[in-house]
Structure 1
Amino acid sequence: MKKGVSMNFRSRLSILIALTSLCFPFIATHAQPTLSRTLSPEDHCRNFSRDAIVTFADSDLAEVVHNALGLDAQAPLSCGQAAELERLAVTATSERVVYGGTLRPARAPSEPAFESLDGIQNLTGLTTLTMFNRLITDIGPLRHLTNLTDLVLHTNWISDIEPLRKV
């Protein structure tokens, strides 16, 4: 009887070891949190998963977007979260100008210029975008915002509006 018990134990142990070795790679890869890929500011979320991390070339633009989404400025912003933003308004204070009585934006020191819009192309849910007096020159990244219905870029330095052709 001892020999039968010993054989039964060995065969069960062999099966257990075999099953463990088959399951270990699956357990090891799924037990660890997956690291999301961090995109460059020029990358577009359409080529990556919803949990990829969006970045912006301009830190001031990144801060404005994070604030609009109610996120901490240092929190990672996923492609999924970026796509949820529908309205982004970056306005300026106005001052009355004597000639003609028109209003002219007056950019205060606390209202930073945007050096680049790279990264904004990942805000694919935007329907309204307003950016007053940010010294924007290149609006190329806006070409990907096909849901835009309202766009205001008053008092910027834009010379080429070709990127808006298909918006």
Structure 2
Amino acid sequence: MSATFTHINQDGKANMVDVSAKEVTVRQAIAEAYIEMSAETLSLIVNGQHHKGDVFATARIAGIMAAKKTSDLIPLCHPLALTKVEVSITAETQFNRVRIESLCKLSGKTGVEMEALTAASVAALTIYDMCKAVQKDMVISTVKLLEKTGGKSGHFKAAE
């Protein structure tokens, strides 16, 4: 792997990458995160018995909002005009966990990996926040990029 860090200049200092000469292409990224919890906590959520309301709906909206604010949260990220943000949340009761998958898309000069990762992460954090009164030892794990398309580096798909 001969890739170089793009956010470090020749003097070793952090800098925002100049994307002005890059071509506009359709770019998409898919990320995931998991949050593990007790069967009892998951049951409260799935059965709509959580006292704070619809946990998944709130987490979905939080993830979408976070994707749109990624450049405010991550230094050196470009502000992007996202054309699609989707957050899917699935209860995996057999594993006592929730799987979050986010998809971000645009036509632009830079990728949307950070937006997808931020969406999945913040959705998981929102689930934690809404459920921490019931259970404090939940575990957020496996936040990762699953796939990305578009741009000079082309297609990437994580190993299964």
- TM-score range for the pair, normalised by the shorter chain length: under 0.3
Give 1 or 2 for the bigger CA radius of gyration.
1
Query: TM-score of the superposition, structure 2-length normalised?
Result: 0.24
Q: Which one has a larger percent strand, Structure 1 or Structure 2?
A: 2
Query: TM-score of the superposition, structure 1-length normalised?
Result: 0.23
Q: Point out which structure has higher relative CO (alpha carbons under 8 A, 6+ apart).
A: 2
